[in-house]
Amino acid sequence: MRVRRNSQTLAITQEKSEAVGQNINSWLNDLDVEVVACYRAQDGEVELEPVIKYLFRSHIRVVIPVVRKQSMKFTLIEKNSKFVPGPFGIEEPTELDFVDPLKIDLVLAPLVAFSSEGQRLGRGGGYYDQMFIDNDKSVFVGVAYDFQLSDEFCSHAKDKPLDAVVTETGWRVFRSEKLVFDSRV
């Protein structure tokens, strides 16, 4: 999946990322959220810059993950934040302002693959799973391309299932009690 994700041209990645961003942003219009967890894309992942810009314009606080000592934490970013490569080559802000994960209303998580049952295959570190497995407050949404749908991987009891996944063609909702969608989704 990662090879296929990286084999897309820059133009295709941008086009699909823009479509994913439009799907997320149209849904955010109807939500009452204060803190949204995003990520800095790498390795062919869906770019969330259009979403982050929308969140800033909407005065919604944005946090992104950073890894320290084998655990993930979330730090606030601002419109004018400066970034440097972190331990895994993923950009992170030069100034860290950590936020309690229980204050995150919506988590937009990257993934390598997702299943038709709402399981998420990440990069194998288990960082998102460890952070959110017992967190029932945050809505946990995978961000992917359509081709990342696969039922050819196994999940484990300690894997955090997705509430939904959003792709360039729309939404797949797995646990609707946590999500409110209107007819546009």
pLDDT digits (tens, 9 = 90+) for 22-45: 999 988 877 788 999 999 988 889
Q: What sign has the CA pseudo-torsion 101, 73, 113, 34? A: positive
CB 105 within 8 A of CB 27: no
Architecture per CATH, 2-177: 3-Layer(aba) Sandwich (3.40)
Q: Find the range with the poorest average confidence among 5-9, 24-28, 97-101, 180-184.
A: 180-184
Average pLDDT in the 53-82 region?
92
**Position 112 confidence tier, pLDDT thresholds 50, 70, 90:** very high
* Residue 6 backbone phi and psi in degrees, to 5: -75, -15
- 161 pLDDT above the threshold of 70: yes
Place of tokens 């998580």: 109
Question: Distance of CA 4 to CAs 19, 20, 76, 153, 164, Å?
Answer: 19, 18, 31, 16, 22
Q: What is the rounded distance in angstroms from the CA atom of residue 114 to the CA atom of residue 97?
A: 31
